[in-house]
Chains A and B, each alone.
Chain A
Amino acid sequence: MIEEIALIFTDYNISYLLAGLGMTLLIAVITLFGGTLLGTVLALFNNYGKLTGKIAAVTVEIFRNTPLLLWVFVAIAAVPLPSLLSRALVATVIFNAAIISEIIRGGLNAIPKGQIEAGRSQGFSFFQIMIYIILPQTFRKIVPTLTSQSITIIKDTSYLAQIGVAELMFVVKKLMSTANTFTGHSITAQDVFILFGTAALIYFVINFSLSVAVRKMQKKLDANMK
C-alpha cells in the first residue's frame, strides 16, 4: 500500500493534483461572487420590480427546476466565449445566481418595510436606500446560508470534469486512468482507492471546515437575535 502510494504520488503528480485543487477553488470563488452579484440584482427585481419582477421570478424557477449539468452543456454549445472554462463559468454563475437570489430574498423580506419609507422620507433614492440601508443588513443575515451554499458550489465544480475543465475531479480521474504508467502494473482497485481517497480527504477538509463555520455563525446570529 505505502509503496503504491509512493509510486502514484510523484512530485509531478502532486503538483498536478494541487493545480486541480487550485482550479476547483478558482471556479468556486468566481461562481460565488459572480452568483451573489447577479443574484442580488435578480432578488431586487423579483422583490420590487413589476414586469422585471415577473421575468426575474420565471428565470429563478427555470434554473431551480433543471439540473446544473444541463446548463453547463448549453453554455458549452451556445456561449460565444473562447475557452471551455469561461463558457462553463457563465453557466455556474447564472445557475447559482438564481439560487442565491432566493437566499437574498429571504434576507430582504426579514427587514422591516418601514426602513424603506424612512429612507424615502429622508430624501434617499431607491438605489441609495438599497445600497446604504437595506442590503448591508440583508447580507449580515444571510452570511451563514451563503457559506453553506458555497459548500454546494465547491461540490458542484466537480460536474465540470465532464467537459474537460482540469479541476480536482478531472485531475483525479486522469491520474487514475494513467496510473499504470507510474506503478508499472495495470490499474487495480487499490489505485482507485488511493486516488479517490485523496480527493475525498481534500473535499472533506474544505467543506467540513466550512460547515463547522456555518454552524458557529448561525449560533452567533441566533444569539444576537434574542
Chain B
Amino acid sequence: MNSGVFALWRWEALWASRAEFIDAFFVTLRVSVFALVLALFLGVVFGLFSSGSNKILKGIARVYVEFFQNTPLVFQVLFMYYGLLYAGVDLSKEQIGVIGLGIYTGAYISEVVRTGIISIPFGQTEAALSQGFTHLQAMEYIILPQSVKIVLPPLVNQMVALIKNTSVLAMIAGGDLMYRSNAWASNGTLSYGPAYLTCGILFFCICFPLTYFAKRYEQKLKSAGTSKKEVTAG
C-alpha cells in the first residue's frame, strides 16, 4: 500500500468516517455560536461598567478584564473542568467550552466596547441626559449605535479568535473539530495528512471571510475618515 502522507486510500478512509468529522464540525460551530452570545453579553455589560461613572462597577469590570486577559484560556478551561469534576458538578464538555470561551472572549470584547464608547464625545451623553434621557437610554439610542461602526472590525477579529480558540476543547477531549481530527488520525491508520488538512480547511473557510470583511471594513472607515478631514480642512 502507498504510504504517502496524502495517499488516496487515506482520503478514502477519511471519507468513510465523514460522519465523525461533520459531527465534530457542528460541535465547533455550536460552541462558537453560544460562546459568542455569552461573550457579547458579558462584553457589553462590562464594557458599559468600565466606561460608566460608578467606581465600584468600574473596579469589578477592571478585575474581570485583567484576570481573564492575563491568564491563559487553556488554564481557565482546565481549571473549570477539573474543579467541577472534583466538586461533583455535572456539566458537559460542550457547556464548559461555551462558558470558558464566553467568559474569556467577553473580557476582550468588553475592552472593545469600552474603547468604542469612550471614542464618542462625552458631550453627547451630557446632551442626552439634559434632554431627560436616562443613562441607559442615552447609551441605547445615542452612544451605542455610533460605537457599533468603530467597534465592528475589532469585534469581528475577536470572533475569529474565539472560533480558533474552540480548539482548546481538544485538551479536555471535547469532541470538537480539532479533537476529532487528531483522535481520528492517531487511532488506526495514522492518516494525519488528510485529517489535519481537512481540519485546517474547515477552520480557514469560517475564519477567512470574517478576517477579510474586518480588514476591508476598517480600510473603508479609515479612508472615509481621511476624506472627511480633507473636506473640513479644504
Contacts and interface: CB of A to CB of B under 8 A. Distances in A.
Interface stretch (B15-23, B124-132, B163-171): B163-171
Contacts of A69: 167-168, 170, 178
A64 B215 CA distance: 13
Tell me which of B73, B82, B165 has the highest count of chain A C-beta atoms within 10 A of its own C-beta: B82
Nearest to A191: B86
A199 B83 contact: no
B66 to A, nearest CB: 6
Given A77-B196, A192-B83, A70 B73 contact: no
Interface residues of A, number: 39
B210 to A, nearest CB: 8
A155 B168 CA distance: 12
A66 B75 contact: no
Nearest to B88: A189
A159 interface: yes
Given A64-B211, A65-B208, A208-B66, A196 B167 contact: no
Interface stretch (B39-47, B136-144, B199-207): B199-207
Given A70-B178, A191-B86, A196 B79 contact: yes
B59 interface: no
Interface string A131-166: 000000000000000000001001111110110000
Interface in A199-226: 199-200, 203-204, 207-208, 211
Contacts, number: 114
A159 B228 CA distance: 45
Nearest to A151: B70
A74 B72 contact: no
A136 B85 CA distance: 51
A70 B171 contact: no
A50 B228 CA distance: 33
Contact of A158 (B75, B83, B170): B75
A196 B196 contact: no
Contacts of B185: 77
Given A62-B204, A65-B203, A70-B196, A189 B87 contact: yes
B26 interface: no
B53 interface: no
Given A169-B72, A192-B86, A204-B71, A65 B78 contact: no
B133 interface: no
Nearest to B164: A67
A208 B71 CA distance: 9
A13 to B, nearest CB: 17
A65 B165 contact: no
B75 A199 contact: yes
A208 B65 CA distance: 11
B152 interface: no
A155 B164 contact: no
22 contacts: A61-B211, A65-B164, A67-B166, A68-B167, A69-B178, A73-B182, A73-B196, A78-B5, A151-B69, A158-B75, A159-B171, A161-B74, A169-B72, A173-B78, A188-B86, A189-B86, A196-B75, A196-B82, A200-B79, A203-B70, A211-B66, A211-B70
Interface of A: 61-62, 64-70, 73-74, 77-78, 151, 154-159, 161-162, 169, 173, 176, 187-189, 191-193, 196, 199-200, 203-204, 207-208, 211
